[in-house]
Structure 1
Amino acid sequence: MPRKQGEGRSQAGAFHRRLALIFGLHLLGVIVCVMLGVFNVAPPVAVVVLLAIISALAWLAARRQWRPVGRLARVIDSWDDEPDVDALAPKHLSEQADADVVTLARGLHGFATRIAGYNQRERNFTRDASHELRSPLTVIKMSADMLSDESELSKFGVRSVKRIQRATREMEALIEALLILARESDLGAGEEEFVVNDVLHKGMDDLQQMLEGRAVDLRIEEPARFALRASPRVFMVLCWQLIRNASQQADHGSIVITVLPGAVAVSNRVDEAPAIDRHGFELAIAQRISERFHWPLELQTRDGCEHIASIRFPETLPA
């Protein structure tokens, strides 16, 4: 069976044997120096100097043996979004490298190769998905808007167009959320300082359109005002998911967005408890976004008729 790169030129345990040899020679040198001092062969000052020289040589020799491991550690420490795959290749190790070090380098090289491939696939997916999914949605949205302007549509046709428009808006919000979660390096993208209340008011029209066709009243209550240093797009997508989940709990009632000190709560209130607790895919996405950006999400149920999802923001700014 052919050997992998680095296995034929290294031996397991060579590092330990070399360290044992270094410290054995160091011990022998110390014994010789002590004997020279005991029998007055050399003055005490010369013995001390000789001991210092022997210890320094032993330290340099041990440090040289540790150099391959230190080099790998420096390469790992310098990793950013893109690891330097070639710097971890076992071919860069010396001929006398220990087999354990070669194995470590080969494992890190394979791991870095997989990470680089994952990053490339992530970029390809988010780029292609952003274009290939949004383009047909834009066509559907424009076509539905044009159909809604037709005066000869029947009542059934009008209702169908409205359902298409609502589904298109929901699909846009879903794609936006999935793309945010797919981009691992998107944590700080688009960060700016914004007032939470203002962003919610600005997005109310879109939220109302998303709920169009349902007997649901959406409103905002503002006992507090605060600002965040984050991406307003991510914040709004998270709110969209919570509101969509609240609208799935009941076909009628009210959804209230409440801005509290350091938190935003979304509650849906209905006259009677629903027969089935219908937490949907939207809530799973909201939980993943909250974990991704370290915004804790808490769920509560009061009297069986009111579901409350609240997002806490640990780092807030004055409005």
Structure 2
Amino acid sequence: METSRGHSPPEPTFRRGAFQRRLALVFALQLAGVVIAVLLGVFDVAPLAAVLALIGVISVLAWLAARREWAPVSALARVIDGWNEQQPDPQLFSLARLSPRTDADLARLARGLYGFAERIAGYNERERNFTRDASHELRSPLTVIKMSADMLGDEAGLSEFGDRSVQRIKRAAREMEALVESLLVLARGGDQGTGDEEFVVNEVLRRELGELRQVLEGQTVEFALEEPARFALHGSSRVFAVLCWQLIRNACQHLDQGRVVLTVLPGAVTVACLAQAGRLRAEGQAFELTIAQRISERFAWTLELETREGNERVASIRFPHPLPA
């Protein structure tokens, strides 16, 4: 026994080729009218002025009829032109909004746009849910880690090795928090959640290098900051710090021993790694450079990588709109 279920209303039926048939009828009637008008003139049934006026009237009527047939296409074009992808409304392309006289080809196009709009709406909803849930679920454990590291650092009698470990945990937690923020900015796509602050590039780099020296204490890599220029940027200082951190880590992964030099140029920052012995290593670069590349594309900061003579690898970031510091 079949149970009663809710069903969506059936889609209206559209005739294939209806548009072409109606246009063909319009042009056929126009041709017939013009032929009749010409015959009336040839056999002196009507004066030339009347024949020309009749042909003009027939042409205007044919144009109005063709325009009426084209109206559904124009209406669909206006809907597409005013469509907002951030707040898509699939019902704008619903077949129920189309006239029963609509051609089947146009109805098929509207059906495809309706499905596309539904997928975009679903994607936007999943994006909002992801950024909201990820922001909460990832930041909460990071907060616990930072609080626990602070409490552990206040313990009396903590050894020097333990203190260095606590500092590394704090640094890693801060880096993870900044990385999560950067990934959320990237995940928002067209959303303008890019930070609303002005920061001096030189100050951010000094802070990053100071913390980096603590994290990599005891390793055979030296760090230097050269500042022939000084400028500021408008955006997110944390995202900028993540970009530089990824490039610095990538430079360190290419060195057994050597120097990493950060240089602030007018409207640009370079990160160069120079090996003192042996060759530059090529492994361990995919994840860091992928994140750096996505950040540079998101903020329109040009990222260039090159390998120079003398075992030197250089990453350059160029900023299109630097501000005076």
Q: TM class by shorter-chain length?
A: 0.7 to 0.9
Q: Which residue of 2 aligns with 1:199?
A: 201
Work out the CA distance in 2 between the residues paired with 1:177 and 1:16. Answer: 54
Is the CA contact 1:266–1:310 (under 8 Å) kept in the aligned structure 2?
Answer: yes
CA distance in structure 1 between the aligned counterparts of 2:78 and 2:15, rounded to whole angstroms: 24
Deviates more, 1:127-136 or 1:140-149: 140-149
* Corresponding residue number in structure 2 for 1:179: 184
Given the alignment, which residue of 187, 197, 213 partners 2:215? 213
Distance, in Å, in 1 between the alignment partners of 2:57 and 2:234 is 58
Matches within 5 A, 1:42-191: 42-80=46-84, 81-187=86-192, 189-190=194-195
How far off its partner does 1:257 sit?
2.3
Q: Is the 8 A contact 1:170 1:210 kept in 2?
A: no
List per-residue Cα deviations over 1:29-74 (Å, max 9, x = no partner).
2222222233333333333332222222212221222222222211
Q: Secondary structure at the residue paired with 1:212? A: helix
Report the CA distance between 1:183 and its aligned residue.
0.7
Spell out, residue by residue over 1:127-159, the C-alpha distance to the aligned partner (whole angstroms, 9 max, x if none).
111111112111211211221222312344223
User: Are the counterparts in 1 of residues 201 and 231 from structure 2 also a CA contact under 8 Å?
Assistant: no
**In the superposition, relative to structure 1, how do residues 225 and 160 fare at CA in structure 2: closer, same or farther (>3 Å)?**
closer
Residue range with higher mean Cα deviation, 83-92 or 275-284: 275-284
Kindly indicate whether the alpha-carbon contact (under 8 Å) linking 1:169 and 1:210 is maintained by their aligned counterparts in 2.
no
Shift of the 199–260 alpha-carbon distance from structure 1 to 2, 3 Å rule, reads closer
- Describe the shift of the 1:187–1:220 C-alpha distance in structure 2 as closer, same or farther (beyond 3 A): farther
Q: For residues 77-121 of structure 1, give each alpha carbon's deviation from its aligned partner in whole angstroms, at most 9, with x where no partner exists.
A: 112211221111111101111111111111100100010010011
Q: 1:11 maps to what in 2?
A: 15
Q: What TM-score do you get using the length of structure 1 for normalisation?
A: 0.86
Tell me how far 1:231 sits from its aligned partner: 4.7
Aligned pair count? 313
Task: Please give the secondary structure, in 2, of the residue aligned with 1:250.
Answer: coil
Cα distance change on mapping 1:153 and 1:122 into 2, 3 Å: same
1:226-270 alpha-carbon deviations (Å, 9 max, x no partner)? 555555454343223222322333365433222334432122233
The answer for the alignment partner of 1:39 in structure 2 is 43
Distance 1:92 1:157, change over 3 A: same
What CA distance in whole angstroms lies between the structure 1 residues aligned with 2:274 and 2:107? 63
User: Larger deviation: 41-50 or 66-75?
Assistant: 41-50
Q: How many Å apart are 1:280 and its aligned residue?
A: 4.0
**Structure 1 residues 301 and 18: alpha-carbon distance in aligned structure 2, compared to 1, 3 A threshold:** same
Percent identity over paired residues: 58
Partners of 1:23 and 1:211 in 2: how far apart?
Answer: 82
Compute the TM-score of the two structures, normalised by the length of structure 2.
Answer: 0.85
Matched, 1:28 2:32: yes
Provide the rounded CA distance (Å) in 2 between the counterparts of 1:133 and 1:115. Answer: 26
**Structure 1 gap segments, 5+ residues each:** none
**Distance (Å, rounded) in 1 between the aligned partners of 2:18 and 2:181:** 55
The corresponding residue for 2:291 is 285
Runs (4+) of structure 1 exceeding 6 A deviation are: none
Q: Given the superposition, is the C-alpha separation of residues 29 and 141 from structure 1 closer, same or farther in structure 2, using an over 3 Å criterion?
A: same
Render the CA deviation track for 1:204-244: whole Å, top value 9, x for unaligned: 32453245231444443233445555554543432232223
What secondary structure sits across from 1:267 in the alignment? Answer: strand
Distance 1:224 1:33, change over 3 A: farther
